[in-house]
Amino acid sequence: MKTNYELRYATNPYDVNNYETERLRKEFLIEKLFTSDEINIIYLMESRFVIGGICPVKETLELESISPLNSQYFLENREIGIINVGGIGIVIVDNIEYELDYKEMLYVGLGKKQVFFKSKDINQPAKFYINSSVSNLSINDKKIEKQDIKKQEVGSQETANYKVINRLISSDDKQSCQLKMDLIELKPGSVWNNIPPQAHERRNGVYFYFEIPEGDFICHFTGVPESTKHIWLEAEQAVVSPEWAVNSAVGTRRYALIYGSGGTDMDYGDRDFYEYTQLK
């Protein structure tokens, strides 16, 4: 088993205005999340937020602490959300086994000492996408069944942003300490996610894109409203979105994405929208 990790440091919006394409992609794009029988982790120094991809094929993989966490085990002072975007997978948390089908999720709370990942069928390996935030509350682990997910339809066909928001972890009923995760599915014919663009000044976010056919792409818009930047990406890649950045994306066809964040305000409506006339 191999665990790879990378550190990403804080960025300043005024500095980002001067970034060329290569530097912009290096700071914000996460190009490779899933590698067979490896764990890939990105640690955001600014918010201590963790993004990762775990793809067990022939091996059972254990989520171990990494040096920046300075902890005996990964969840010593953290919580984690795990969403399966591959074949059927199994997560074992302190000897309790959970089976996750495609798009199913498991929340694991503070203090769990051992978390293992494996695939049910090595010919159709699971792909576990993870987000982890610092936590100071012990909240019960919970598998989020498909029938229990709160769904919200927003947007319209006329503006090509008709979508379903699956609210997996939110502020409702103390589901987590700081972690928030939504799975957003665009309807056929829709290609925009957040339109008009928005920002979340009280939390950082990460956008993970999937269900993108080979040969199709996503263009994610970031930067500040008066000086927007864009990043082109493929399936199963992600973009880090600082609290000062606008969030919007368009695809060459419909797609799905997972939005994860950690911060002081988890209210879904806590967003700052920008008028089209403000964008440059």
What is the CATH number assigned to the segment(s) 2-278?
2.60.120.10
Return the pLDDT at 239: 97
- Is residue 21 classed exposed, middle or buried when 0-12, 13-18 and 19+ CB atoms within 10 A define those classes? exposed
> Closest Cα to residue 261, out of 238, 236, 229?
238
Q: Is 123 exposed, middle or buried (0-12, 13-18, 19+ CB in 10 A)?
A: exposed
Instruction: Work out the average pLDDT over 94-122.
Output: 97
Torsion angle of C-alpha atoms 274, 277, 278, 280, degrees rounded to 10:
120
Taking 70 as the threshold, does the pLDDT of residue 268 lie above it? no
77 CB-near residues (< 8 Å, 6+ apart): 71, 110, 134, 135, 136
| SS3 category, 100 | strand
User: How far, in Å, are 41, 183, 198, 215, 256 from residue 222 at the CA level?
Assistant: 22, 20, 10, 23, 18
**Domain regions of the chain by residue span:** 2-278
Mean per-residue pLDDT of the chain: 91
Q: For residue 112, what are the β-bridge partners?
A: none
Residue in the structure block whose two tokens are 């964040």: 261
Averaged over 271-275, what is the pLDDT?
Answer: 66
- pLDDT per residue over 20-31, tens digit each? 999 999 999 999
- This prediction's pTM: 0.94
Beta-sheet pairing, 38-44 with 2-8: parallel
pLDDT at 274: 64
pLDDT tens figures, 135-182? 999 999 999 888 888 899 999 999 999 999 999 987 666 689 999 999
